Amino acid sequence: MSKPNLNSLLEQLDLTKKVELRFSRLDEDVMMALNALAVKALSMRDSLFILNSMITIIRELVENAQKANAKRVFFRKHAKNIHEAHDYAEVMREYEGKIREMVKNLKEDLDQSGLIVSVIFRFENGNLIIEVGNNIELIEDEKKRILTRMEMGEKSAHFLDIYGKIQDSSEGGGVGLVLILFMLKNIGVAPSALRLVTDEGYTWMQLRLPETFKPAEITTEIKRRILNDVKGIPTFPETIERLIAMCDDENLSIESIADEIEKDPAITADVVRLSNSAGFISGKRIYNVADAVKTVGLKNVRALLLVCSARKIMDTRYKKFEEIWEHCNKVSAYSRYLAHEYHLLSKFENIAIAGLLHDLGMIVLLSTDIDLVKSIASLTRDKKLINSTILEEVYIGISHSALGGIIARKWNFPDYLIEAIQHHHSPHDASKEFRDIVYAVYLANMLVGIEEKKYEYYFIENEVLKRFKLDGDGKIQKYHESIMETFRDESK
C-alpha cells in the first residue's frame, strides 16, 4: 500500500474542491494524513475546539469500514458466500471476538483484495461534510444492525444507560457507533447529522457538520457530585499565601525567605523533597531549605510552594495516588528538556511547574469513582483513542482537564498554569500567549503516555511536532529515545 501524499492532499482541500483519501487498510501514515486533513478542514471553519472528537469519530468510522472489508476477505478465504444464510451463520461463529486479529492477519489480503476505504472532506452550503465509505454492499443483517445502533444512540440520554446493552464482540461496531452519536451530542451536533447512504456498490457513513454548534451540557449524578465536592476544596493556607507574596517581593533576600520557610517543618520537608524531584533536579543532592532556595531560585521556590500546597490539599482530601504524581514528575522533567532544547528558557520555570500540576483533575476523578475511570481508560486503550477526555465527557459530562482548570482557578493560579492544566490534551485551544508552554506540556505528556502504553506516536498533533522541529520520519522517536536516556541518568 503506497504512502499518502500529504502535501498534495492538503493543497487540494479548499471551500470549492473535495479531497479524497483512498486506502486498503488503516496504518500510521493514513492516520497522520487523516489527522492533518481534519486539522485543516476544521481550521477553515474556526472549529479546532472539536478536533479530538472529530479525529476519534473519523477513525471509528474508518475502522468499521475496514472491518466490513476484512470480513468479506475472511469469507473469501474460507470459500463461503456472505449472502447465503447458512454460510453467514457458520463463518460468523468463527469470526466472533476475533476482529482485531483478523484485520491484523489479513494485511496482505486486504491490500490485494480490491476492497478499499475512502474518506472524503468537502464543503457544501456552509457545511463541512465528511464521508467514510467502502466499495461494498451491506447485507441486510449488517444494515439492520447499524440502524438499530444509531437509533439507540439517538434516543438515549446517557451513554452509561445503554453501555451494557451494546457491547458486541462479533464485529466491533456496537459500542463505537453509539459512542460516535454521543460525541456528536457532546459537541453540539444532532445525531441526525450522521446517516447511512448506499449508492451503486458503495456504502457510506456521511457526517454533515453545520456552521455553528450548540453543545448540549451532559449532566450526570457523578458530575454533580464531583462539582459539589470541588466547591469544598480549601484554598491555600495563610502561611503559604504569605510565603508566595514574599517570593514576589523584589526587596526581600533569598536568605529571609529561606528563614521564613524553615519556621514550618512540614513546608521545609516538602520544599526540600520537591527540589530533588525530576522536575527541578539540579545535578546535586539538596538537603536543606536554604540550599533548595539558592539552587532553584525564587521563581522556582514560588513554584515549589504552589506544588507543595496543591499536593498536600489533594492528598489530604482525596486518596493518595502516587502513580499520578510520578507521572506528573516525569512529564515535568520532559517538559523541562523541551524548554532547554528549544530555547524556551524564559518560560523554563513555568513549563516545569505546569508539568508537575497538569493532572490535578485526574486525582479528583479517580477518587470519585475509580472503577469508572478504569473502565474509561480501558476503553480508551481498547479503541486506541487519542486520549481519555472525550470518553470522560461522554460518560461523566466533564473531563479531568476541565476539572483541573476549575481547581486551578479556585486556587488563583496564574493564567499560564490554568491554560496548561486545562488544555494539556487539546493544545490547539490554548491562547497564543501561552501556546509554547501548553505545547511543551502536551508533548511531554504524550511521550510519557506512549511509554505507559496509552498512546501512539501518530496521535501527536503535527502542529506541535512542527513547533519543535520534530515533524519528520523518525524524528520524534529519536528525540524520545534521547530524553528517556537523559531522564534515566538524572534519576540515578
- Host domain of residue 361: 221-491
Q: How many domains does the chain have?
A: 2
- The C-alpha cell of 305 is what? 510552594
Same domain, 238 and 330: yes
Assess if residue 180 is contained within a domain: yes
| DSSP helix/strand/coil, 132 | strand
Percent of the chain past pLDDT 90, that is, above it, reads 29
The reply to whether 215 falls in a domain is: no
Q: In the sheet that 202-209 helps form, which strands lie side by side, from edge to edge? A: 19-23, 117-124, 127-134, 202-209, 194-199
* Cβ atoms of residues 64 and 138 within 8 Å: no
230 and 83 within one domain: no
Instruction: Please check whether residue 233 is in contact with residue 407, taking contact to mean a CB–CB distance below 8 angstroms.
Output: yes
| Distance in angstroms (rounded) separating the CA atoms of residues 186 and 73 | 36
| 244 within a domain of the structure (yes/no) | yes
Q: Is position 1 within any domain?
A: no
Asked whether residue 230 falls in the same domain as residue 193, the answer is no
If you average pLDDT over every residue of the chain, what do you get?
Answer: 85
Contact 145, 175 (CB under 8 A): no
pLDDT tens, position by position, 13-69:
888 889 999 999 888 889 989 999 999 999 888 888 888 889 999 999 998 899 889
pLDDT > 80? residue 429: yes
Domain contains 214 = no
| Contact assessment for residue 168 and residue 146, using Cβ atoms and an 8 Å cutoff | no
Residues above pLDDT 70, as percent of the chain: 90
- Over residues 83-112, the pLDDT tens digits come to 888 887 877 777 666 666 666 677 788 888
Region 296-316: mean pLDDT is: 81
**pLDDT of the residue at 101:** 66
CATH of the domain at 83: 3.30.565.10
Stretch 211-217: mean pLDDT: 71
> Is residue 400 in a domain?
yes
* Spatial distance between the Cα atoms of 21 and 205, rounded to a whole number of angstroms: 15
Is residue 21 domain-resident? yes
Q: Is it the case that residue 391 has pLDDT exceeding 50?
A: yes
Give yes or no: residues 43 and 124 share one domain. yes
CA angle 334, 337, 343 (to 5 degrees): 140
Kindly list the distances between the CA atom of residue 409 and the CA atoms of 27, 212, 224, 238, 406, in Å, as whole numbers in the listed order.
41, 28, 19, 18, 5
**DSSP notation for 13-79:** -SSS--EEEEESS--HHHHHHHHHHHHHHHHHTT-GGGHHHHHHHHHHHHHHHHHHHHHHHHHHHTT
Q: Which of 209, 235, 262 finishes a domain?
A: 209
Mean pLDDT of 347-363: 89
Mean pLDDT of 469-488: 92
Confirm whether pTM is higher than 0.95.
no
- The pLDDT value given to residue 338: 93
Confidence category of residue 217, pLDDT binned at 50, 70, 90: low
Q: Looking at the structure, do residues 59 and 101 belong to the same domain, yes or no?
A: yes
- Long-range contacts of 219-224, Cβ-Cβ distance < 8 Å, separation of 24 or more: 219/397, 220/158, 220/160, 220/395, 220/396, 220/397, 222/368, 222/369, 222/372, 222/396, 222/397, 223/396, 223/397, 223/398
Selection from 128, 30, 43 nearest residue 428 by Cα:
43
- Are 162 and 299 found together in one domain? no
Q: Is the pLDDT of residue 406 over 90?
A: yes
Check pLDDT > 70 for residue 164.
Answer: no
Query: Are 230 and 156 found together in one domain?
Result: no
- Say whether pLDDT at 450 is over 90: yes
Q: What is the average pLDDT across 410-438?
A: 93
Q: Are residues 235 and 359 in the same domain?
A: yes
Query: pLDDT tens digit string along 242-283?
Result: 888 888 888 888 788 888 888 888 788 877 877 776 556 555
Same domain, 257 and 126: no
Q: What is the domain-level CATH number for residue 355?
A: 1.10.3210.10
Residue 171 clears pLDDT 50, i.e. is over it: no
Specify whether 155 is located in the same domain as 266. Answer: no
Same-domain pairing of 376 and 264: yes
Contacts of range 416-421, beta carbons closer than 8 Å, 24 or more positions apart? 416/347, 416/350, 416/354, 417/306, 417/350, 417/353, 417/354, 417/357, 420/354, 420/355, 420/357, 420/358, 421/354, 421/357, 421/358, 421/360, 421/361
- Which of 165, 184, 209 is a domain's end point? 209
Find, among 389, 387, 391, 399, the residue nearest to 459 by Cα: 387
Query: Is pLDDT at 123 greater than 80 in this prediction?
Result: yes
Domain boundary among 175, 209, 243: 209
Closest residue by Cα to residue 334 from 180, 483, 468, 157: 483
Tell which residue, 440, 366, 127, has the closest CA to residue 448: 440
In a domain, 135, yes or no: yes
pLDDT score for 174: 57
pLDDT at 172: 46
118 and 21 in a common domain: yes
